């Protein structure tokens, strides 16, 4: 704990995630093996899934996690020559991830991928996120930049930029935010001017570009939102461009006039620089249009949606690893005695013996494992939306995926932060020192409620769009899923009170949504949306209850064969916690949404 | 926002606290001027109170706040020679605080103090805490170390150590925690051996000692809990010692064998080193007994209680300053348009125009101003407990003070952290960069739920001791206070629904406490205390509703004279928020306490 040393020894090594839990979630709860019945995944079986998980698990434990503190403590800076040099370990990590096929794991065989279900890839990547969120983030960005070119790029763009991205020879970025336009992307001003050869010249500035400059790879491929000269104002005038740091000219790769103007001093994800970029300062920045003019935002949503689920997965993993660390610490740290014990001479007990510490641990568990399960449920819908048997299956899954995306992004970020703060609390005074890791995870976590769309934005997306889209079509599908889960849990013998509670919650969400939707339709959009964030909190709490009931059912099934197995009993206790402590909160949240408590709505700035 | 620069300019300078609000809380809500009717404060009037507030306000704004980021960014380290050198600005700050009389402000005239009410001193100190929590913390520790000597020290100790502490020539510490004993002080092992001359030789190690080593002053006076050789085990064997860094020998001050073994890398309060100390490595550490043998813990509670209220005040201030920064940012940052507006060409609106941003701001306001009011209410009871007219008044105030102390410590720390996280959120992407201050305040705040007794410890103190003490005597007094506030608010014309709600909440707390107390008396102590933290959350939520109703009444009174005054209208809106959004949470919390949801109680370690 003293200056010069790094970290107090702990008896056991943090496993990042519980392997048994990941297996349980993948196969018992989310039936990954059932996906192999789909033609797209017919070349896979549980063996190849397990191999993927084991490979990333090992990389996470042996390469990413051991360097986590070092990479956090030595964030990259902008050098005088305009370059940003990362810690050399980042290059080793990125190369190892590329070698392991992480970058193209879910992509089709014909682009060199493994065509792995997102469900499996998300579970495997969770180990990477738990071990080092920034390193895992760089891989995710690279995959999704390539994926945009795969979906919308010309054959030449796919060959020139997509292939090296999937191979890990280049990395990718998403360039959306400008200094004056973050959440409000219709306001971007970066401009593209057509050239005679069909390419474009780009000028403008972007900020908060993760991985926007570094020395890991020979090139960086920026997927940039910009406005074609003369395009209409607002979102409809925004197009998507591919803008490499170095562009091909004949056989050579030459500088493409993309300059790093500065590195932000972030409090988390510190291994991955977030930078400001200037395009075309020398009017020599060549860009290639990706897809159709004016479709930039719509196309970019492919990457943004993936990034949102990616952020949710990372947030769940960061909460999860801190939870595991808390468990280890609480078992190894002696302090005090049981409230009943009056024997001051006796030995101290490990703090896990104190009820309040167990309360904090179980809350962390319920949040972290519930969040991971929700993210995996969302990833599974992604698989069905892309590769389901027929149109009806795919459409249904797409609706559900769209609905769940803002929830899978926000719940792990918001409640994960609470879990991460509890991890600090469990560590007592050591928790607020950087000799221990919980404070690092808390910092890493804080980014997740902001980047890729703040919680407020996600809430408007959920209530203003997703649950009311198609006359509530997605919501009806969601409700069917919950009812099916509760029916299954009931059949298996899970506590019927929990099943009833989930059914009632699904009804309550439907009724509330109908009422709020009607308010919007009647013209009172502000009234409908005033409590959107409370609505998101409510909706997410019900979604996680759904996930805990699914886990309880799977656990109960196993307990019938293996009575007394502590792992499954723990799942039931976490479910009990969620149904007893968290789900009842929705009554109050629903009342806020419905009655529209209007203090902050009426509030004027001069009253603050 | 780029490397090399420090901070984005903001249109207005953060006032730290709203001056108008401090005046309102001091005089309209907590009637500081009425304290002048007490003989102890008869030499004061509103003029001297205002002068104190203005002096510290100016120091906070001109000296402490401007160096906040710099001091945070350059934390002190242990030098090879065993010393810890602070940033030179810390010496300037400490000297300025001493010059301003901060260290002895509340202490009696006969020890050189101003004999100022705690209420006024706490309000004035809030500016210091908002401007730099660590610098203010050092002053508080010094005052309270001296105060221990004032209360329990011999005339020689008072002359030799107390006087220089109050003058700011020395600083003070409290040395409680040992590596294996933090929350569990009965387990300390530091030993004291009697010497022939009546002094003692001390050996042992302490950790987490704030200000335990530095170069600000010529000496440091440690108030140390230690065990006299042969003393009984447990708390009853703990005595209090005065252990200076340098001790007097004749006319000289010589080294007293107190060694700094290391500096903790804290995430907050970084300007004030928290160190590990070894006493008597060379068996030459002389100590002076303070007060009676075996009374160490009881005596130290004078300092611990003051420190707990001090932590609460600091936590409230840190939430408050971040709230003010959020208001400034939200007014100056344009982004997006109103949900109804469909004019993409129009100018962007400041983010304060978005309802969800106002929701976050009003929640911050309600927490920060509610917390500050609660801390001031507690300070006022301290004044009455010390200086009330007669025994009955003093006893009543002492009961209430004891009851409120764990609440005044915990609510600002726990909900303040939520407010500080909201300040980061309001700042969007800039919030998670260290170019802006909210992330610093969030780090500073995180210490407050841990140091001076964790939230779990405070919860056990409240439910296990304070509310049941004397057959619920303190609770009955507390209830009378709430009922009086609601009667006053009703008479002034405040929304009667709020008054009814506070009355009902006071009834609910009484009934719940009776039920839990009976459970404890019947032998089920574990069942009584299992949800102690939920009980504290509930109790604090009601306390802050009480404070908001008191503020609403004071505001309503003023509005009758000055209709439409935005400041008072804002107070009513914050009260509306608290009664509409926060207070209703207590139903669920009470159910948890009463029904004893037992998931975490039954949880075994192997189930995690």
The Cα-based distances of A424 to A361, B183, B267, B374 in angstroms read 11, 15, 11, 26
B394-400: Cβ within 8 A, 24+ apart: B396/B477, B399/B469, B399/B470, B399/B473, B399/B474, B399/B477, B400/B474, B400/B477, B400/B478, B400/B481
- pLDDT for residue B63: 97
- Among A178, A369, A452, A481, the active-site one is A452
Residue B6 has pLDDT above 50, yes or no: no
Report the pLDDT averaged over residues B249-273. Answer: 96
pLDDT band at A2 (very low <50, low <70, confident <90, very high): very low
The number of CA neighbours under 13 Å toward the Cβ of B15 is 10
Top residue of A350, A435, A565, A607 to mutate, by most chain B CBs within 10 Å, is A607
> Who's near B106: CB < 8 A, 6+ residues apart?
B113, B114, B115, B116, B117, B118, B121, B143
Name the active-site residue from B150, B439, B452, B481.
B452
Residues making up chain A, counted from first to last: 608
| Coil, strand or helix at B458 | helix
Neighbouring CB atoms inside 10 A of A510's CB total 17
Give the pLDDT band of residue B184 (cuts 50, 70, 90): confident
Over its C-alpha atoms, chain A yields an Rg (Å, rounded) of 24
Q: Which of A3, A426, A28, A506 is nearest to B456 (CA)?
A: A426
DSSP B522-546: TT-HHHHHTTHHHHHHHHHHHHHHH
Res A180: pLDDT? 86
The beta-carbon neighbor of B573 closest among A330, A348, A607 is A607
Question: Residue B340 pLDDT more than 90?
Answer: no
> Can you tell me which residue has the tokens 């019938």?
A560
Provide the total of helices (H) and of strands (E) in chain A, helices listed first: 21, 10
Residues of chain A neighbouring B365 (CB-CB closer than 8 A): 608
Task: Find out whether B355 and A530 touch, Cβ atoms under 8 Å.
Answer: yes
Token pair for residue B491?
């008479």
Q: What is the pLDDT of residue B339?
A: 66
SS3 A287: strand
Task: Write out residues 224-243 of B within 8 Å (CB-CB) of A.
Answer: 233-235
Facing A348 at nearest CB: one of B2, B177, B184: B184
Question: pLDDT for A84-132, tens place per residue?
Answer: 999 999 999 999 999 999 999 999 999 999 999 999 999 999 999 999 9
Give the list of residues 6+ apart from residue A49 with CB closer than 8 angstroms, or none.
Answer: A26, A32, A33, A116, A117, A120
State the pLDDT at residue A4.
Answer: 34
Nearest Cα of chain B lies from the Cα of A113 at a distance, in angstroms, of: 33
Of A182, A417, A432, the CB nearest to B450: A432
Contact B435 A264 (CB under 8 A): yes
pLDDT digit string, tens, across residues A396-416: 999 999 999 999 999 999 999
The alpha carbon of residue B451 is apart from the nearest alpha carbon of chain A, in Å, by: 7
Is residue B515 among the annotated active site residues?
no
Put simply, the answer to whether A425 touches B450 (Cβ < 8 Å) is yes
Give the residue among A530, A575, A585, A535 at the shortest CA–CA distance from A551: A575
HEC string of A427-496 equals CHHHHCECCCCHHHHHHHHHHHHCCCCCHHHHHHHHHHHHCCHHHCHHHHHHHHHHHHHHHHHHHHCCCH
Percent of the residues in chain A that have a pLDDT greater than 70, as a whole number:
97
Distance CA B506, CA B461 (A): 20
The answer to pTM > 0.95 is yes
pLDDT above 50 for A6? no
pLDDT-derived band at A12 (thresholds 50, 70, 90) equals low
Coil, helix or strand for B101?
Answer: coil
Q: Cβ(A296)–Cβ(A250) under 8 Å?
A: no
Residue A44: closest CA among A97, A100, A98, A106: A106
Q: Which residues of B38-67 are buried (b: 16+ CB within 10 A; e: fewer)?
A: bebbeebeeeebbebbebbbebbbebbbeb
State yes or no: pLDDT of A481 exceeds 50. yes
Please report the pLDDT score of residue B1 as a whole number. Answer: 36
Residues 178-217 on A with a CB inside 8 Å of B are 180-184, 186-187, 207-208
- Does residue B138 contact residue B314 with C-beta atoms inside 8 Å? no
Average pLDDT over residues A134-148: 98
Whether the predicted pLDDT of A476 surpasses 50: yes
Q: Which among B235, B276, B588 has the least Cβ separation from residue A588?
A: B588
For residue B71, what are the contacts with CB-CB under 8 A and spacing of at least 6?
A: B87, B89, B90, B132, B134, B135, B270, B271
The residue among A9, A69, A603 with the most chain B CBs within 10 A of its CB, best to mutate, is A603
Q: Does B8 touch chain A (CB under 8 A)?
A: no
Q: Dump pLDDT digits (tens) for A160-211.
A: 999 999 999 999 999 999 988 878 888 899 999 999 999 999 999 999 999 9
Q: How many angstroms separate the CA atoms of A451 and A454, rounded?
A: 6
Distance from CA of B432 to the nearest CA of A (A): 6
Which residue from A567, A577, A602 is facing B600, i.e. has the nearest CB? Answer: A577
CB contacts, 8 Å: B432 with chain A: 266-268, 446-447, 450-451
Does the beta-carbon distance from B3 to A262 stay under 8 Å?
yes
pLDDT of residue B124 exceeding 70: yes
């Amino acid at each position: 704990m003293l200056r010069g040393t790094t970290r107090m020894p702990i008896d056991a090594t943090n496993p990042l995630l519980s392997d048994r839990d990941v297996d349980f979630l993948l196969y018992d709860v989310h039936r990954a093996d059932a996906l192999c019945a789909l033609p797209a995944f017919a070349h896979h079986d549980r063996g190849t899934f397990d191999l993927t998980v084991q490979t990333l698990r090992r990389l996470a434990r042996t390469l990413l996690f051991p360097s986590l503190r070092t990479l956090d403590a030595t964030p990259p800076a902008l050098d005088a020559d305009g370059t940003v040099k990362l810690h050399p370990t980042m290059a080793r990590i990125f190369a190892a991830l590329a070698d392991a096929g992480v970058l193209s794991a879910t992509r089709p065989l014909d682009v060199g991928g493994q065509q792995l279900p997102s469900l499996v890839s998300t579970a495997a990547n969770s180990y990477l996120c738990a071990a080092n969120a920034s390193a895992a983030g760089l891989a995710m960005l690279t995959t999704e930049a390539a994926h945009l070119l795969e979906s919308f790029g010309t054959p030449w763009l796919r060959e020139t930029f997509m292939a090296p991205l999937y191979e890990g020879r280049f990395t990718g970025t998403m360039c959306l935010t400008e200094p004056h336009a973050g959440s409000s992307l219709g306001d971007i001003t970066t401009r593209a001017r057509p050239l005679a050869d069909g390419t474009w010249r780009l000028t403008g500035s972007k900020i908060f570009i993760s991985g926007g400059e570094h020395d890991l790879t020979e090139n960086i491929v920026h997927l940039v939102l910009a406005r074609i000269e003369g395009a209409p104002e607002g979102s409809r005038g925004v197009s998507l461009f591919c803008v490499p740091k170095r562009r091909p000219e004949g056989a050579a790769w030459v500088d493409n006039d993309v300059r790093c103007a500065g590195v932000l001093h972030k409090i988390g994800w510190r291994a991955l620089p977030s930078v400001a970029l200037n395009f075309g300062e020398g009017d020599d920045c060549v860009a290639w249009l990706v897809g159709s003019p004016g479709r930039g935002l719509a196309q970019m949503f492919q990457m943004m949606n993936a990034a949102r689920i990616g952020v949710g997965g990372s947030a769940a993993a960061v909460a999860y690893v801190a939870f595991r660390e808390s468990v280890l610490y609480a078992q190894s740290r002696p302090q005090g005695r049981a409230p009943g014990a009056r024997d001051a001479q006796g030995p101290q007990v490990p703090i896990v013996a104190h009820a309040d510490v167990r309360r904090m641990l179980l809350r962390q568990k319920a949040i972290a494992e519930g969040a991971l399960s929700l993210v995996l449920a969302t990833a599974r819908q992604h698989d069905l939306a892309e590769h389901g048997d027929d149109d009806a299956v795919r459409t249904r899954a797409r609706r559900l995926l769209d609905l769940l995306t803002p929830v899978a992004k926000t719940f792990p970020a918001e409640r994960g932060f609470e879990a991460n703060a509890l991890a600090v609390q469990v560590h007592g005074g050591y928790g607020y020192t950087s000799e221990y890791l919980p404070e690092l995870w808390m910092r890493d976590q804080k980014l997740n409620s902001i980047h890729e769309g703040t919680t407020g934005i996600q809430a408007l997306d959920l209530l203003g769009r997703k649950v009311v889209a198609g006359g509530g079509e997605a919501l009806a599908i969601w409700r069917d899923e919950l009812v099916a889960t509760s029916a299954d849990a009931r059949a298996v013998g899970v506590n019927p009170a929990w099943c009833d509670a989930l059914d009632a919650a699904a009804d309550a969400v439907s009724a509330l949504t109908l009422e709020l939707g009607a308010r919007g339709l009647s013209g009172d959009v502000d009234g409908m949306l005033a409590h959107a964030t409370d609505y998101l909190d409510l909706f997410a709490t019900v979604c996680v209850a759904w996930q805990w009931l699914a886990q309880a059912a799977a656990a109960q099934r196993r307990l019938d064969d293996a009575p007394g197995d502590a792992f499954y009993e723990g799942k039931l206790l976490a479910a009990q916690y969620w149904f007893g402590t968290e789900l009842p909160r929705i009554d109050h949240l629903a009342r806020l949404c419905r009655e529209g408590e209007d203090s902050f709505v009426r509030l004027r700035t001069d009253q603050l």
